[in-house]
Amino acid sequence: MNIKVVVVGKLKEKYLKQGIAEYAKRLSKFCKFEIVEVNDEKAPEKLSAAEMEQVKIVEGSRILDKIRDKEYMFVLAIEGKERSSEEFSTELSKLATYGKSDITFVIGGSLGVSKDVMSRANAEISFGRFTLPHQLMRLVLTEQIYRAFMINIGSPYHK
């Protein structure tokens, strides 16, 4: 299985990089795991609705350039479907069983993702209604992917 996480922006926080690196190392036993960063679009603090949409379009184009047709794509979105860790684990297992072994997760920038990215998505996933920094979501998502594999092998990691 190949799992890719496409994210907008660079990760600067050392503690987040360390956590992600630890889970990525653990994931190497189960899949090929990679994180692909695309540049965020520089924008002033106060934007009109049209300017915000333009930023999302530019970032969305960069995201979509990193995704191949055969990849099953999840977009992380507050309005997406919430899943338990067990449901997520089952979903990943079923995707692999039915030939969807190239799975991509997209974490947009601070303004979200474009309509083009949303329409390309096979599924939307939500980690709840909290707003979390997208840098932190990289760590949370990576841990949950690892947890999914551990659930599927019956490991006591998930309790």
Task: Give the DSSP H or E segment for 3.
Answer: strand 2-8
CB of 76 closer than 8 Å to CB of 118: no
Residues 139 and 15: their CA atoms lie apart, in Å, by 10
60 is in an annotated binding site: no
Task: Give the DSSP H or E segment for 80.
Answer: strand 72-82
Take residue 133 and report the two structure tokens written for it. Answer: 């920094």
11 is in an annotated binding site: no
Residues that constitute the known binding site: 76, 108
Residues that constitute the known binding site for S-adenosyl-L-methionine: 76, 108
